[in-house]
Amino acid sequence: MANRPIEVFFRDYWSEWINTARFPIVGGFIILMAVFAFLASRLGPLTKQEEWFPEDFYGGAALKWLADSFKLTERDSTVEVDVTWGIAGIDRTGTSRYKPANPGKAVWDTTFDPSSPAAQLAIVETCFQAPAALGRVPGDDSLSLYKANVTCFMQDYAEWLRDEKFLTFPFEAVVVGGGSPTEEEQRVQFLSSLSEFTTSSFVGEQHRASSRIGFDVSGTLRMV
């Protein structure tokens, strides 16, 4: 029985060519694998948000027009921004960019002290200015949604002082016999008052549970 043409081709030509060119073929695959390995080593996380449609494309232009022409609603996903004091940095020793569940350990700012009246007022002022920094002006009824979304522990603490303790804000230490309190007296009494706020009021408990007020196990205020 005569061999079919395809069989003749692979037997007499293809196999012979493969055997003759075996070294260039293997070398070519090695070079390709080296190039692919080099390109793979340069892969990394995104440096900017993905752009599904360019703005000069009609689909991208339509999405941009919708975003610019219509306000967000409470059902839209927005970016949450947390402003934190008391953390000097993050120790990322032993972490990997590919393991976001382990971002590292906080490095506490040993000079952090929010107990002074000036520091308390500065935190409240930051809370008030946050919406304006994002392009939203507090008190504007058309943008009241953004105003409601600003959560500030110091503002709630000030209301608690006024409504529950009948004290004025900012908190100032009381000195037996009168006179101005020392920095240590101010710090101790303020931290005691703030700790009471986080344990005796529902709002304060929520702030502590959400790590907006960070006391450690020893009772030291680490961050807010």
The answer to whether position 142 is within a domain reads: yes
The boundaries of the domain holding residue 133 are 110-223
The reply to whether 130 falls in a domain is: yes
Determine the straight-line distance between the first and last CA of the chain, rounded to whole angstroms.
Answer: 89
Q: Is residue 55 part of a domain?
A: no
Q: What is the pLDDT of residue 101?
A: 84
136 in a structural domain: yes
In a domain, 141, yes or no: yes
Q: Which residue has the higher pLDDT, 118 or 77?
A: 118
pLDDT at 173 over 60: yes
- The answer on pLDDT for 181 being more than 70 is yes
Q: Is 219 within a domain?
A: yes
Residue scoring higher pLDDT (123 or 147): 123
Give the tens place of pLDDT for each residue, 75-113: 565 667 788 899 998 898 888 878 888 888 889 998 999
Asked, for residue 114, whether it belongs to a domain, the answer is yes
Contact call for residues 83 and 158 (beta carbons, < 8 A): no
What is the total count of domains within the chain?
1
* Residue 141: predicted pLDDT: 47
Residue 178 lies in a domain: yes
Residue 139 or residue 218, greater confidence: 218
